[in-house]
Amino acid sequence: MKRFWLLFSQTVTVFLAGYFVIATLKPEWIRQRPTSLGGVVSVIEAPVAGPQAVAPGSLSAAAKRAAPAVVSINTSKAAPRHPRSNDPWFRFFFGDQDDQPQVGLGSGVIVSPEGYILTNNHVVEGADEIAVTLNDSRQAQAKVIGTDPDTDLAVLKIDLDKLPTIVLGNSDTLQVGDQVLAIGNPFGVGQTVTSGIVSALGRNQLGINTFENFIQTDAAINPGNSGGALVDGNGNLEGINTAIYSRSGGSMGIGFAIPVSTAKQVLEDIVKEGKVTRGWIGVEPNDLSPELAETFGVKAKSGVIITGVLQNGPAARAGIRPGDVITNVGENKIDNVQELLTAVAGLKPGAATRFSLQRGGDRMELDVTAGLRPKAPLRRAPEKE
CB-CB contact of 227 with 123 (8 Å): yes
Predicted pLDDT of residue 51: 53
Predicted pLDDT of residue 56: 65
Parallel, antiparallel, or unpaired: how do β-strands 283-287 and 304-309 relate?
A: antiparallel
Predicted pLDDT of residue 108: 94
Instruction: Show which of 127, 157, 187 is a domain's final residue.
Output: 157
Predicted pLDDT of residue 65: 92
CB-CB contact of 185 with 197 (8 Å): no
Q: How many domains does the chain have?
A: 3
Which candidate in 148, 152, 232, 324 is catalytic? 152
Residue 309 included in any domain: yes
Within this chain, do residues 294 and 337 fall inside the same structural domain, yes or no?
A: yes
Give the number of other Cβ atoms within 10 Å of residue 47's Cβ.
10
Within this chain, do residues 310 and 356 fall inside the same structural domain, yes or no?
A: yes
Predicted pLDDT of residue 105: 86
Which candidate in 226, 232, 251, 324 is catalytic? 226
CA distances to 4, 13, 28, 85 from 18, rounded to whole Å, are 21, 9, 15, 90
Predicted pLDDT of residue 277: 84
Residue 6 included in any domain: no
Instruction: Show which of 230, 249, 273 is a domain's final residue.
Output: 273
Residue 37 included in any domain: no
pTM of the shown model:
0.71
Q: Establish whether 152 is a catalytic residue.
A: yes
> What is the rounded distance in angstroms from the CA atom of residue 128 to the CA atom of residue 149?
18
Query: What CATH number is attached to the domain comprising 362?
Result: 2.30.42.10
Best CA proximity match to 303, nearest among 317, 277, 324: 324
Best CA proximity match to 341, nearest among 304, 296, 298, 291: 304
Domain extent at residue 133: 67-78+87-157
Within this chain, do residues 74 and 153 fall inside the same structural domain, yes or no?
A: yes
Q: Which amino acid is at 92?
A: F
CA distances to 24, 157, 347 from 20, rounded to whole Å, are 6, 63, 74
Predicted pLDDT of residue 380: 45
Predicted pLDDT of residue 384: 42
Give the number of other Cβ atoms within 10 Å of residue 169's Cβ.
21
Chunked in runs of 10, what are the mean pLDDT values of the chain (385 residues)? Answer: 66 70 61 53 51 68 92 81 58 56 83 93 89 92 92 93 91 91 90 92 79 88 89 92 74 85 90 87 89 82 89 91 91 86 87 90 90 66 41
Q: Establish whether 226 is a catalytic residue.
A: yes
Query: What CATH number is attached to the domain comprising 110?
Result: 2.40.10.10
Predicted pLDDT of residue 44: 47
Predicted pLDDT of residue 138: 93
Within this chain, do residues 261 and 293 fall inside the same structural domain, yes or no?
A: no
**pLDDT of 337-349, one tens digit each?**
888 888 898 888 8
Give, as one character, the DSSP assignment of residue 281.
-
Predicted pLDDT of residue 385: 47
